Structure formats: C-alpha cells, structure tokens
Amino acid sequence: METQEQIKETVRQKYSAIALQSKETNETSCCGSGCCTTEVYNIMNDDYTAIQGYVADADLGLGCGLPTQFAKIAKGNVVVDLGSGAGNDCFVARAEAGESGKVIGIDFTPAMIERARANVEKRGYHNVEFRQGDIEKMPVTSNIADVVVSNCVLNLVPNKNEVFKEIYRVLKPGGHFSISDVVLLGKLPEALRKDAEMYAGCVSGAIQKEVYLELIHANGFKNVTIQKEKTIHIPDDILKNYLDAKELASFKAGNTGIYSITVYAEKPAVVKDACCAPGCCN
C-alpha cells in the first residue's frame, strides 16, 4: 500500500500533467506518463458552460459536482476554493461574490497554480488570487472565509479529517461550506482500493459515505445537509485495467455504490468556550 506521501506525489504528478492539457485533450487522451486512461478523471464531471462566471480556459473537466451552485455565496463574501485547479470554481464564485467580494484558490500543484494565475491575469480580475499550499494546512489565516467550496478534491487527500479541521479554522463563525466529493457504499475491490492511480482519479480515495458525514459532525459543523447526490458509473474499459473477468463480474453484481455528493454544513455562529470554573458558565 502506498504511503500518504507517495499518494500525494502520484496526485501531484498526474495533475501536473493534466494542467498542461486542454479539457478536450483530457477527455480524449492519456493523462500523462505511465499511460492511464484519462476517462477516470472526468467521468464524474458536470456541465458548467451555462453558469455565470464560467471561463472555458479554466475548465479541465475534473469535478464531480457543481458546489458553487449550492454554496449560497452572497455579494461581498470571501470564498476559499480547495483544490482550485485552473480556477474554474473560483471564477464562478467571483461572479456570485461580485466586485466587493474576494476569492482565494488553494492548490498544491505548481502547474495548476501557474495556469490559474495566467487565467486571472488575462481577465484582469483583482479580487481573485491563487495560493500554492496543502489543504491539510491551508495558507490562509483563521476566521477569514464566509464560504468554502471544493469540487472532487478531498478524495485526493489521505487525511480528510485534517482538511475538515482546517475548513472549520478558516471559516468565520456562522460561515459555511458546500463541497462536492465522492463517497462509497460498500467495499471497493482490493485492486481498486490499493492502486495509487485510481486514488489520483478520485475513486480509490473515496471513503464510506457514513464515515465522511461523521467526520463533518465530529469537527463541530452544524446543519449538515446533502444538497445533491448522484451515482458514479466506472466504465468497464477502466475497471478491466484493475480487475480480471471474475473480479469485474463480482464487482458489478455486488452492492458497492460509488456516489458524488454535495454536502453543506455550517460553522456555529457562536463557538462556546470551555467553562473556566464551577458556576462561571450560564
């Protein structure tokens, strides 16, 4: 089994290759050296083209939902996008937050940051910026964001609990997040679960839906709501790279489900401090 750092390096290499390609190339050709089928990276993607703020140059076809559609972004909001890629969700968030708002995209792949910055400079947007960093330790101060969004990125992070802790830290009291991600019902075949390539493709990095939601609750979030859910179908031509005929038949006949969910949750407006002494708290 790959270590967390090895998985991160695989993700970094694969998404660095993807950053250098167009959406059309990602949808029709190999994702880089080693030659995987890139279909695993974009089979979950939703259509952004009719959404206000959409920038075609920033759309690499890598998401599994439309979190900004559900994120309740208001004019003047500060929005943080986790795993911002070439900037797709950031530009949509900017359209929602307006000129008085601010959008910060975070991505740990240098090639993605470079492409996103080129996109923002080309359009002269002064209230969108991109910072290179790990979303397990975000390069932003505490209590800064009104809204956090993310699109099919937590699957790429081995320690998802740390990400939710960081989301809680950077949100203002009363702030909220809307995150699209991939979760499981049932157990993936071992060959899929252990393969780092499939991890980078957002499949084997998925955890059980119940565990995912428990992590959100455990980190202090309230009003946790599933805003959208859809089934993800992995094509046979991808599965055949990892499973033999018997394993493939068993997987398709089994009760394992792969789903994209968009989850909304809020940081409490008032965070209660621990009582300092008997009788000191109301």
* Phi, psi at 264, each rounded to 5°: -110, 140
Torsion sign (Cα): 239, 184, 151, 194: negative
pLDDT for residue 60: 74
pLDDT for residue 142: 98
Which amino acid makes up residue 96? E
In this model, does residue 200 exceed pLDDT 70? no
In this model, does residue 240 exceed pLDDT 50? yes
**Range picked from 39-48, 149-158, 248-257 for highest mean pLDDT:** 149-158
Per residue in 217-227, pLDDT (tens digit) is 999 999 999 99
**What's the rounded Cα separation, in Å, for the pair 146 and 6?**
33
pLDDT tier, 274 (very low <50, low <70, confident <90, very high otherwise): very low
pLDDT tier, 277 (very low <50, low <70, confident <90, very high otherwise): very low
Is residue 184 within 8 A of residue 207, CB to CB? The reply is: yes
What mean pLDDT do residues 61-76 have? Answer: 89
Query: Looking at the DSSP assignment, which residues form a beta bridge with residue 179?
Result: 150, 263
**What's the rounded Cα separation, in Å, for the pair 63 and 48?**
10
Is residue 58 within 8 A of residue 85, CB to CB? The reply is: yes
Torsion sign (Cα): 30, 14, 24, 19: negative
**What's the rounded Cα separation, in Å, for the pair 101 and 228?**
26
CATH class of the domain comprising 4-266 = alpha beta
pTM over 0.85: no
* Phi, psi at 262, each rounded to 5°: -110, 120
